[in-house]
Chains A and B, each alone.
Chain A
Amino acid sequence: MIAEFGHYALVLALGLALVQAIVPLWGARTSDATLMNVAGSTALAQFIFAAASFAALTAAYVGSDFSVVNVFENSHSAMPLLYKFTSVWGNHEGSMLLWVLILALFGALVALFGSNLPATLKANALAVQAWIASAFYLFILITSNPFARIAQAPAEGRDLNPILQDIGLAVHPPLLYLGYVGFSISFSFAIAALIDGRIDAAWARWVRPWTLVAWMFLTLGIAMGSYWAYYELGWGGWWFWDPVENASLMPWIAGTALLHSAVVMEKRNALKVWTILLAILAFSLSLLGTFLVRSGVLTSVHTFASDPSRGVFILAILVLFIGGGLALYAWRAPLLKQGGIFAPISREGALVFNNLFLTSACATVFIGTLYPLALEALTGDKISVGAPFFNLTFGPLFVPLLIALPFGPLLAWKRGDLFGAAQRLMWAAALGVVALAATFAIQRGGPVLAPFGVGLAVYVMIGAIIDPIERIGLFRQPFAVAFARARGLPRSAWGTAVAHFAAGMLLFGVIAESQWNSERIVSLKPGESVSVRGYDLTLDNMIQRPGPNYRELVARFSVRRDGAVVDVLEPAKRTFPQRQMSTTEAALMTVGASQLYLSLGDIGSDGAIAVRLYHKPLVLLIWFGCIVMVLGGALSLSDRRLRVGAPKPARHKPSLQPAE
Chain B
Amino acid sequence: MTLWFLFALMTAAAIFAVLWPLGRRRGLGPRGGSDLAVYRDQLDEIVRDRAAGLIGEAEAEAARVEVSRRLIAAADAAKPDAAPLAGATFRRRAAALAVLIALPALAAALYLKLGSPQLPDQQLASRATTPMQNRTLDTLVAQVEDHLAQNPNDGRGWEVVAPVYMRLGRFDDAVKARRNALRLSGASAAREADLGESLMAAANGVVTDDAKAAFERALAYDPKYSKARFFLGVAAYQDGQGSKAADIWRDMLKDAGPDSPWIGMVREALASVGAPSEPASAQQPASGPSAEDIAASEQMKPEDRNAMVRGMVDRLADRLKRDGSDLEGWLRLMRAYMVLGERDRALSALADARRALGHDTDKLRRLDELVKELKLEG
Identify the A interface with B (CB < 8 A). Answer: 1-5, 7-9, 11-12, 14-16, 18-19, 23, 26-27, 30-35, 37-38, 40-42, 44-45, 49, 60, 63-67, 77-78, 114-120, 122, 141, 145, 147, 149, 151, 153, 155-156, 198, 200-203, 205-206, 268-269, 305-306, 340, 412-414, 471, 485, 488, 544, 546, 551, 577, 641, 644-647, 652
Is the beta-carbon distance between B99 and A19 smaller than 8 angstroms? yes
A318 smallest CB distance to B (angstroms): 22
A117 to B103 Cα, complex, angstroms: 28
- Cβ–Cβ < 8 Å partners of A546 in chain B: 139, 142-143, 146
Chain B, 107-126, CB within 8 A of any chain A CB: 107, 110-111, 114-117, 119-125
- Cβ–Cβ < 8 Å partners of B28 in chain A: 32-34
Which of B27, B107, B119, B358 contacts A15, CB < 8 Å?
Answer: B107
B109 smallest CB distance to A (angstroms): 9
B71 smallest CB distance to A (angstroms): 10
Q: Show 20 A/B contacts (Cβ-Cβ < 8 Å), sorted by A.
A: A8-B111, A14-B106, A15-B14, A15-B103, A33-B29, A34-B28, A35-B95, A38-B95, A60-B123, A66-B124, A77-B131, A114-B32, A115-B32, A145-B114, A153-B122, A412-B55, A412-B59, A413-B59, A646-B37, A647-B37
Number of A-B contacts (CB under 8 A): 230
Binary interface encoding of chain B residues 121-150 relative to chain A, with 1 for a CB under 8 A from any of its CBs, else 0: 111110100110011001100110110011
A488 to B70 Cα, complex, angstroms: 27
Interface of B is mostly: helix
Is the beta-carbon distance between A156 and B115 smaller than 8 angstroms? no
- Cβ–Cβ < 8 Å partners of B92 in chain A: 32, 34-35
A200 smallest CB distance to B (angstroms): 6
Which of B103, B120, B135, B358 contacts A1, CB < 8 Å?
Answer: B120
A413 to B18 Cα, complex, angstroms: 47
Is the beta-carbon distance between B146 and A544 smaller than 8 angstroms? yes
Is the beta-carbon distance between B24 and A65 smaller than 8 angstroms? no
Is the beta-carbon distance between A7 and B111 smaller than 8 angstroms? yes
A577 to B91 Cα, complex, angstroms: 62
A18 to B138 Cα, complex, angstroms: 49
Is the beta-carbon distance between A551 and B145 smaller than 8 angstroms? yes
Is the beta-carbon distance between A23 and B59 smaller than 8 angstroms? no
With A45-B14, A118-B32 already in contact, the answer to whether A201 and B38 are too (CB < 8 A) is yes
A206 to B37 Cα, complex, angstroms: 11
Closest 10 CB pairs of A and B: A45-B17, A202-B35, A63-B123, A64-B124, A116-B33, A645-B37, A153-B122, A37-B21, A546-B142, A67-B122
A25 smallest CB distance to B (angstroms): 12
Is the beta-carbon distance between A119 and B124 smaller than 8 angstroms? no
A139 smallest CB distance to B (angstroms): 13
- Cβ–Cβ < 8 Å partners of A27 in chain B: 91
A115 to B33 Cα, complex, angstroms: 6
Identify the B interface with A (CB < 8 A). Answer: 2-3, 6-7, 10-11, 13-14, 17-18, 20-22, 24, 26-35, 37-39, 41-42, 45, 52, 54-55, 59, 62-63, 66, 70, 74, 77, 81, 83, 85, 87-88, 91-92, 95, 99, 102-103, 106-107, 110-111, 114-117, 119-125, 127, 130-131, 134-135, 138-139, 142-143, 145-146, 149-150, 170, 325, 358
- Cβ–Cβ < 8 Å partners of B107 in chain A: 8, 11-12, 14-15
Is the beta-carbon distance between A488 and B88 smaller than 8 angstroms? no
A4 to B146 Cα, complex, angstroms: 43
Which of B35, B52, B91, B102 contacts A35, CB < 8 Å?
Answer: B91
Is the beta-carbon distance between B33 and A645 smaller than 8 angstroms? yes
Is the beta-carbon distance between B121 and A65 smaller than 8 angstroms? yes
A5 to B13 Cα, complex, angstroms: 14
- Cβ–Cβ < 8 Å partners of B39 in chain A: 201-202
Which of A4, A31, A153, A646 contacts B81, CB < 8 Å?
Answer: A31
